[in-house]
Structure 1
Amino acid sequence: MENHINTRLLFKVIYILKRLTDEWGDTVFTQLLPGFKIGYVPVFMCIGTDGISNNEVARELQITKMAASKIIKELFALKLITSEKDPLDARSERITLTSKGIEISAKVKESASGIVDEYRKITGDENYDAAIDVLLAITRYHEEIKIRN
């Protein structure tokens, strides 16, 4: 087998990008709130202003209910979210942001927007948008083959 470095290998690029963005996020988000991890961001942003149930978080992010519950429990501990009975389904809890959660959410969005602005500066708007479109198409492909299998 040939031993050479392929810098354009998709899996390598995704692996390195994820590691670097995780490091960036851990640094930035920990400054916003000690104990806040980048892994919380997808769940945290799913909650939004209308609130959401644990099951909806799991479905939206394609994670197990147990994984969603673990992160939600940690967000409760940070006092970023609260819950109440869902008015439409008494069996379900509706998770909403606390005032502290709303404040941190705005800062997380601002930080994310800032890094995206930097990406757009180095790639150009058209290339950035095209890259996102390609990643979404690859994601849809994998979602479809997962459903078929």
Structure 2
Amino acid sequence: MNKTELNTQLQELQAARPLTWGKVISLLKRQFDNWALHELTQQGYEEFKMAYMPVLMNIHPDGITNNELARKARVTKQAMSKVIKELIELDFVVTETDSHDKRSSIIHLTEKGKKLVIDARQKVCELDKEYEELLGKEEFAVLKEQLVTIIKCHDEKHGLVGCF
């Protein structure tokens, strides 16, 4: 394909400006991140970063290993270690050596971390209620079920069983 053909094809696609899945998901993610950051900042978590959210929300009350947390949060072990170091410095988590495997650590939420998780979950519940009012309770439930179906389908294709 020559330069003129490429330009023509690009112009045609841009003129159509279809509402693609990628665009919708990208905009929703950006809106959610901005909303969550604003809400948590308003509650006094000025040091909070959205990169912390998938980590903090996957820490079980009894703790979790770094490897299991990385799998559930869908990040590399190296990225997880970096985020955990930041969260330790901010007093959101602590670690202890795993009694069954001395090479591994168990990550626990601190009191500050537990409060953040509770506050974040409460805010998300408020957002769910807003969306239920906007779409209707049943329609919103169906939408979430359909999105979970898409997530699980994608996970199965990529061998990510049990991550959701």
Return the match for 1:4 from 11, 16, 25: 16
Q: Establish whether residue 72 from structure 1 lines up as the match of residue 97 from structure 2.
A: no
Amino acid paired to 2:69: V
Task: Compute the displacement of 1:61 (Å).
Answer: 2.2
Partner of 2:31: 20
Cα distance in 2 for partners of 1:87, 1:127 equals 47
Partner of 1:102: 114
Partner of 1:35: 47
Partner of 1:51: 63
Task: Compute the displacement of 1:23 (Å).
Answer: 0.8
May I ask how many residue pairs the two structures share in their alignment? 146
Q: Establish whether residue 145 from structure 1 lines up as the match of residue 125 from structure 2.
A: no
Q: Describe the superposition over 1:6-32 as per-residue Cα deviations: whole angstroms up to 9, x where unpaired.
A: 34x211111111111111111112233
Amino acid paired to 1:12: K
TM-score after normalising by structure 1: 0.89
Q: Which has the larger radius of gyration?
A: 2
TM-score after normalising by structure 2: 0.82
Cα distance in 2 for partners of 1:124, 1:53 equals 39
Q: Describe the superposition over 1:110-138 as per-residue Cα deviations: whole angstroms up to 9, x where unpaired.
A: 11111111111111121111111111111
Across the aligned residues of Structure 1 and Structure 2, the Cα RMSD in angstroms comes to: 1.5
The answer as to whether partners of 1:29 and 1:37 remain within 8 angstroms in 2 is no
The answer as to whether partners of 1:25 and 1:37 remain within 8 angstroms in 2 is no
- Aligned to 1:36, the other structure's residue is in SS state coil
- Structure 1 unaligned segments of length 5 or more: list them: none
Residue identity (%): 36
Cα distance in 2 for partners of 1:28, 1:79 equals 20
Q: Describe the superposition over 1:36-81 as per-residue Cα deviations: whole angstroms up to 9, x where unpaired.
A: 1122111101113111111011111221111111211111111011
Amino acid paired to 2:72: E
- Aligned to 2:158, the other structure's residue is in SS state helix
- Aligned to 1:71, the other structure's residue is in SS state helix
Amino acid paired to 2:59: I
The within-5 A match list for 1:93-132 is 93-132=105-144
Amino acid paired to 1:134: Q
- Structure 2 unaligned segments of length 5 or more: list them: 1-11, 160-164
